[in-house]
Amino acid sequence: MNYYFQKVITNAGKVLHRKTMTTFDENEVIIYLEADHHPYMETANQFLDVIERRIYELVRGINLSWGIAIHKDGHYAFYSSYEEARTALEIGKQQYGEGERTFFSDTRINRLLMALSQENEIANIVKDTLQPLLDYDKKRQTDLIYTFMIYNKYKGNVSQTARALNLHRQSLLHRLRNIESLTQLSLVDSDDLFLLELSVRLWMLKKFE
């Protein structure tokens, strides 16, 4: 597998007229790609497009996830870039699952949430807010937290949320009332909604650590 990857990476560099440096670490491939004045996101996407097209032709069923960071200046440039790319990869897997590209520059809110999650007082607030939902989901084999995540994704639009969850409108409304009853928070109050959304996002980060 490493042989195929090395060959494809070298060829992709030639196609874009850029130098590459590659190393492997267990199931990960680490690539340093020559950059210039062009937007690095555009260059990285072009490079990865070439790689993925060829890899998916050669190997069936493989799923590639990427974490991408821009080059850093200084003595520890390669290490700093690698650490940022690795952070982006981990955040991308947590938030989107496998098979995605995540740029470190797009992870600021997630990194902020990670920093917040280390505070004991905030962790206690998250637990107090979500524990009733977690207990209910476990006891009744439901998924109220996921229901809220989809509801929040569609900005409170009940019809779109019901379609996304494949639920009847009344069934969704029943779930939403349960969420409000269990948390003692109103889904139409902006402060309550913010607290619930923040708690869920922090809980999701801790869940996948």
Give me the CATH number covering residue 137: 1.10.10.2840
Domain boundary among the residues 66, 89, 109 is at 109
Residues 6 or more apart from 126 whose CB is under 8 A from it?
117, 198, 199, 202, 203, 206
Number of domains present in the structure of the chain? 2
pTM: 0.63
- Please tell me whether residues 94 and 131 are part of one structural domain: no
More confident residue, 18 or 118: 18
Residue 141 belongs to domain spanning: 114-207
Residue 70 DSSP SS3: coil
- Token pair recorded at residue 95: 């938030």
75-86 tens-digit pLDDT: 667 888 899 999
- Please tell me whether residues 7 and 105 are part of one structural domain: yes
- Please tell me whether residues 86 and 122 are part of one structural domain: no
pLDDT at 208 over 60: no
